A and B are shown apart, each in its own frame.
Chain A
């Protein structure tokens, strides 16, 4: 049974340092061909401080946090039957190597419909100066009732 008291809450902030090699690894895994993602000289020549992360890179540090929350027995989510229904990413600026990013998950919404539970989680990502870097929203669906 899902604990609905989590809805409306913000989880504890978690900080992640974006590694240059992690960006390169991610770019190679998705086949991103832009040199600014894999070649430091190309990135600097284009005016970036370090390698530029592909737009969906935010998943590498937000999804493990989301997974940890969804597997927490205290929340009571059926993780095994979960599907990812919807994802949006807004980049207030590009993520680059060396960024120290802090993510706060907001448990935004939970709805039940026809035996399914629909959960909306919003991640607010800020840099070391507290400036907004990214806002990502995931809608996740699993079986269950409220």
Chain B
């Protein structure tokens, strides 16, 4: 992966999120907040409808990075701001979310914990778009690039 440098673009990812995905994620993650499965509860707190778990959107955006580096164990840090909700309709198509990313920085690993000689760390800025607007802000991941 030596060709990776500042400005390198990651292969984009387009994913559909359905109600079934939300139910499955609720069970897998242990987040049973009803705003992610009940229209009644979502509406009562002022949401336009059932919304995806922010952590699901974050996890899906993380796939952009893990499919690029190949091994999720190479991710050192990952952070996002949840700026807009992803509203998931009760139909078969769900919500379309489009992810893209770009390397903003590549640095040499300096701490001793990373024993691999010549390893570098890439900082990736991720963009997630739903319904024409970004839903994540300051989404950044740091991944170790094998030397």
Q: Are B55 and A56 in contact (CB under 8 A)?
A: yes
List the one stretch of B4-12, B64-72, B100-108, B122-130 in contact with chain A. B64-72
Expressed in whole angstroms, the Cα–Cα distance for A43 and B54 within the complex equals: 28
Residues of A within 8 A of B45 (CB): 80-81
CB distance from A16 to the nearest CB of B (A): 11
B119 within 8 A of A: no
Residues of A within 8 A of B71 (CB): 34, 36, 46, 52
Bitwise interface map of B from 61 to 85 toward A, beta carbon under 8 Å scored 1, else 0: 0110011001111011111111000
B109 within 8 A of A: no
A59 within 8 A of B: yes
List the one stretch of A88-96, A97-105, A119-127 in contact with chain B. A88-96
Q: Are B76 and A90 in contact (CB under 8 A)?
A: yes
CB distance from B139 to the nearest CB of A (A): 10
Q: Are B30 and A60 in contact (CB under 8 A)?
A: yes
Residue ranges of B at the interface with A (Cβ–Cβ < 8 Å): 15, 21, 24-25, 27-31, 33, 45, 54-56, 58-60, 62-63, 66-67, 70-73, 75-82, 113, 141
A-B contact pairs, 27 of them (CB 8 A): A25-B27, A28-B28, A30-B56, A30-B62, A31-B63, A32-B63, A34-B72, A52-B72, A54-B59, A54-B66, A56-B62, A56-B78, A59-B30, A59-B31, A61-B30, A81-B45, A83-B54, A83-B82, A84-B54, A84-B82, A85-B82, A86-B81, A87-B54, A87-B55, A88-B80, A89-B77, A90-B77
Residue ranges of A at the interface with B (Cβ–Cβ < 8 Å): 22, 25-26, 28-34, 36-37, 46, 48, 52-56, 59-61, 63-64, 67, 80-81, 83-92, 94
